[in-house]
Amino acid sequence: MSSRCQQVVRPIVRSLRQGSHQPQSITAIRHFSSTTPRKDENSTTVQQPGTADASSNPVLDAALLGGQKAEATEDGSSTQWDQFTAAALRPELGSRRRRAALVTTGDVPFEQMPYQCFQEARKILAQDREEKIAKIVAEVEKIKRIEAQDASTFRGGEAYKQKRIESIRKEIEELKILADINDPLVKRRFEDGMGDMNKPIYRYLAERRWRSMDYKIIKQRIDQFHIVPDILPKFDPTVDVKMSFRSYKIKPGALLDSRMTEGPPTLRIQAFDKGERLLSIVVIDSDVPDVDSDAYTRRCHFMAANIPWDPTQNLLQLRHIGRGDGRTEGTLAVPWLPPHAQKGSPYHRLSIFILEQKPGQKIDETKLKELYGNREDFSLKGFAYKFGLEPVGFNLFRTVWDDNTAAVMERHSIPGADVEFKRQRVESLKPPRAARGWEAKRQKAKYKSIWKYTKRIKGYN
* Beta-bridge partners for 371: none
Is residue 74, in this structure, part of any structural domain at all? yes
Say if residues 197 and 275 touch (Cβ distance below 8 Å).
no
Say if residues 350 and 398 touch (Cβ distance below 8 Å).
yes
Is residue 29, in this structure, part of any structural domain at all? no
Q: Are residues 273 and 305 in the same domain?
A: yes
Is residue 37, in this structure, part of any structural domain at all? no
Is residue 207, in this structure, part of any structural domain at all? no
Q: Are residues 95 and 130 in the same domain?
A: no
What DSSP assignment string belongs to 169-207? HHHHHHHHHHHHTT-HHHHHHHHTT---TTSHHHHHHHH
C-alpha to C-alpha distance for 395 and 284, rounded to whole angstroms: 11
Q: Are residues 236 and 160 in the same domain?
A: no
Is residue 150, in this structure, part of any structural domain at all? yes
List of long-range contacts for 110-113, beta carbons under 8 Å, 24+ apart: 110/184, 110/185, 110/188, 111/184, 111/185
The DSSP symbol for 110 reads: G
Q: Are residues 74 and 3 in the same domain?
A: yes
Q: Are residues 101 and 121 in the same domain?
A: no
Q: Pick the closest to residue 357 from 315, 387, 318, 398 (CA basis).
A: 387
Q: Are residues 307 and 402 in the same domain?
A: yes
| Confidence (pLDDT) at 46 | 39
Is residue 428, in this structure, part of any structural domain at all? no
Of 161, 195, 229, the last residue of a domain is: 195
Q: Are residues 294 and 252 in the same domain?
A: yes
Of 147, 165, 195, the last residue of a domain is: 195
Number of domains in the chain: 4
Q: Are residues 228 and 260 in the same domain?
A: yes
Per-residue pLDDT of the chain (461 residues; tens, 9 = 90+): 556 667 766 777 776 666 554 444 444 444 444 444 444 444 334 344 444 444 445 444 444 444 444 444 444 444 454 554 444 444 343 456 556 666 666 677 766 776 788 888 889 999 999 999 999 999 999 999 999 999 888 888 899 999 999 999 999 999 999 999 999 889 888 988 889 999 999 999 999 999 999 999 999 999 999 999 999 999 999 999 999 999 899 999 999 999 999 999 999 999 999 999 999 999 999 999 998 898 999 999 999 999 999 999 989 999 999 887 778 889 999 999 999 999 999 999 999 999 999 998 999 999 999 999 999 999 999 999 999 999 999 999 999 999 999 999 999 999 999 999 998 888 888 887 777 777 777 777 787 777 766 655 555 54
| Confidence (pLDDT) at 2 | 55
| Confidence (pLDDT) at 139 | 95
C-alpha to C-alpha distance for 59 and 64, rounded to whole angstroms: 9
Of 74, 107, 140, the last residue of a domain is: 107
Task: Give the C-alpha distances (Å, rounded to integers) separating 109 from 103, 113, 185, 306.
Answer: 12, 7, 11, 44
End-to-end Cα spacing for the chain = 82
Q: Are residues 164 and 222 in the same domain?
A: no
Is residue 342, in this structure, part of any structural domain at all? yes
Task: Give the C-alpha distances (Å, rounded to integers) separating 170 from 132, 147, 163, 174.
Answer: 14, 16, 11, 6
Q: Are residues 219 and 339 in the same domain?
A: yes
Q: Pick the closest to residue 388 from 310, 280, 250, 249 (CA basis).
A: 280
Is residue 417, in this structure, part of any structural domain at all? no
Q: Are residues 330 and 273 in the same domain?
A: yes
Question: In which domain, by residue range, is 8 found?
Answer: 1-17+54-107
0.85 exceeded by pTM? no
The DSSP symbol for 236 reads: -
Q: Are residues 247 and 366 in the same domain?
A: yes
CATH number, domain containing residue 224: 3.90.280.10
